[in-house]
A and B are shown apart, each in its own frame.
Chain A
Amino acid sequence: MKSETMLALYRSMLRIRRVQERIESLYLQDAMKTPVHLCIGQEAIAAGICLALEPDDSIQSNHRGHGHYLAKGGDLKAMIAELHCKATGCSGGFGGSMHLVDVAAGHLGSSSIVGGGIPIGTGIGLAMRMRRTSQVSVVFFGDGAADEGVLYESLNFAMLKRLSVIFVLEDNRWAVCSPRDSRQTGDNVFLRGADPDRLFTARLDGNDAEIVHETARAAVARGRSGAGPSLLVCDTYRIMGHAGCKAQEPSGYRDACEIDAWSDKCPVALYRAKLASRGILDEPTEAAMEATIAAEITEAFDFAAQSPLPHDGDLHKHLFSE
């Protein structure tokens, strides 16, 4: 892997992390009147996958979608404005934090129905096939979404038609307060017996950005060649609570030791150490990176604060395309 790629991976993860931290630190002020689902601890997946994509490849995201949006090149100002439900938000204040979109960046939207984006991303893959492009369609979803039957239906169809769809399962082990083991029996049944020619599957360390990126590149190459879909199961962990900020996290449903153990596997910190030991990331480079990101985030929050709210009269505007 080239050093620019490594730095780009690190920068993408760091930016997602810093944006999340700013949201978390300001959330209790109530200026962001929309539920937020932070992806702190899961940055390597969004960054690693999206760095393997071109701008015209598409992604389908979910309620925990800040990382996907930013990694795919979504506009930060428009995202922060949307969290403030402002007219300048990426969804004009109609969507809030769970419905980010940036069509120019190949982000065609996000559903807050768990699993809802899975067939839609599959259909985007079908359109790519019918239009004879070599684009790929990526769907991000959680282990909770993997409980839904629509995943099986979508995988089956993508395999049947050999669609260029990459299913990215972010296995963060929790669905709200339900542990994975109370909902699933280890590897899901649909993973067993899938013909490897029809479906490339991999279970990988989702906290290792390089592994994610390299696996994604293989899946993208497979998709572009017309060979068909991939399912990447990325092991990771949701460091923060399900929604809101840390201060709002209910206690008693998960073990503090578990959080600590996974905090030690922080994808950003691990990769920083790796790049430092390789001599690719020195202190001045990192300081400059942090400063640029901090300035960009401050600018985005200022933009959101100063932006107008939508008007009552906008309410009836967007139901139909005329």
Chain B
Amino acid sequence: MPWSQIKPDMDEPDYGRDNGLDGRRVTYAAATREALAQALSLDERVFVMGQGVDDPSGMFGASRGLHLEFGNERVFDTPLAETALTGVAVGAALAGMRPVYMHNRPDFLFLALDQLANHAAKWRFMFGGAAPSVPLVIWACIGRGWGSAAQHSQALQGIFQHIPGLKLVMPSTCHDAKGLMLAAIKDDNPVVIIDHRFNFKNKGIVPEDPYLVPLGKGIVRRPGRDVTVAAFSHLVADAYMAAEELAREDGIEVEVIDPRSIRPLDEELILGSLARTGRLVVADTGWKTGGVTAEVAALAAEKGFASLKAPVARVASPDLPTPAGYTLEAAYYVGKDQIKDAVRRVARA
């Protein structure tokens, strides 16, 4: 697929300057793959499954060749049976293993919802803590772009956000892709990681040794005094570029924050930044109604109302399935330009 025509390979924005990172630059896929390889070698309970994890393309490169290194028993292809295989992962986790179940599209997780929402998320609570917990990682990548249409481009974080008992992570940098994956695998609970195909076009600074990025802890990507933009996944890069342009064009200093996890959500980071700027834009690739932007906006209204100098603005996908056609698709997706518009709106309000 000619993804390059949608978004070219590039270095991710140089957050390193602000985040104290230095050193080796690798691709997002290599960072994810390194996390999996290190988890597989550090902990014999870890295994990786998924339809196509041992394909030559290996989940956009995230799992490429792992089966050659760790054997087909620990890195294996699955039948096309998302419901049962999610339950298989739950059962294996209950019985002491640490499965990582990978999907190259999040859409297929709808087939797995019974086991994810009805079982994995509830198992520990349902037995009052008397049953083992479910240390399970479900990873899925949004495959946006080039005619993928309604059933292959869905940003389903709003659905998973809604379910108590699931942790939900959306990395935006190569560094975090590795550290959050390692943290998710180490966590004793079910964690869903929603990744974005656009992130895979990036190269960034990634330390070689294993390290953890704590779940539920966000980060300021760019300090600023005028408007806070809380962005998720690949929109963090868009928000960063928007901020750089707005500083040049309008003299608006945007603070870009990246919560990194949706659940648990780093409320302190969001409310702290809002307290500094008084204005908030929330940007997420998911649908607007009942989604991540709704939740963060509600947080601002509920706990940050006193800080608000203007209404919160939301940048989210319209409440529509994704169209396939090129012009329709371009009209559908949000990114840097919509973030800039929203920032200008709240800055003036």
Contacts and interface: CB of A to CB of B under 8 A. Distances in A.
Contacts of B188: 320-322
B308 interface: no
Nearest to A104: B130
Nearest to B84: A153
B83 interface: yes
B95 A127 contact: yes
Given A111-B119, A122-B91, A320-B133, A91 B114 contact: no
A320 B119 CA distance: 14
Interface string B105-127: 00000000011001100011111
Given A109-B131, A156-B81, A130 B165 contact: no
Interface in A60-90: 60, 89-90
B87 A122 contact: yes
B115 A116 contact: yes
A318 B88 contact: no
Contacts of A116: 87, 114-115, 118-119
B87 A319 contact: no
A302 to B, nearest CB: 22
Interface residues of B, number: 41
A91 B128 CA distance: 5
Given A91-B126, A318-B129, A157 B95 contact: no
Contacts of A160: 79
Interface residues of A, number: 47
A157 B84 contact: yes
**Which of A123, A128, A154, A160 has the most C-beta atoms of chain B within 10 angstroms of its own C-beta?**
A123
Contacts of A102: 130
Contacts of A304: none
B88 A108 contact: no
B164 interface: yes
A103 B132 contact: yes
A121 interface: yes
A131 B129 CA distance: 24
B232 interface: no
Interface stretch (A7-15, A93-101, A239-247): A93-101
Contacts, number: 158
A126 interface: yes
B165 A123 contact: no
Nearest to B115: A119
Contacts of A92: 127-130
A154 to B, nearest CB: 5
Interface in A293-322: 310, 314, 317-322
A150 B83 contact: yes
A318 B81 contact: no
B124 A319 contact: yes
Interface in A110-130: 111, 113, 116, 118-128, 130
Contacts of A103: 130-132
A149 B83 CA distance: 9
B89 interface: yes
A124 B95 CA distance: 5
Contacts of A154: 81, 84, 87-88
B130 A321 contact: no
B324 interface: no
A154 B92 CA distance: 13
Nearest to A120: B91
B54 to A, nearest CB: 15
B24 to A, nearest CB: 33
A58 B95 contact: yes
A43 B124 CA distance: 28
22 contacts: A92-B129, A95-B127, A109-B94, A109-B126, A111-B119, A113-B118, A116-B115, A123-B88, A123-B91, A123-B93, A123-B94, A126-B88, A127-B92, A127-B96, A130-B47, A137-B91, A137-B95, A150-B114, A314-B128, A318-B128, A319-B164, A320-B165
Interface of A: 58, 60, 89-95, 99, 101-103, 108-109, 111, 113, 116, 118-128, 130-131, 137, 149-150, 153-154, 156-157, 160, 310, 314, 317-322
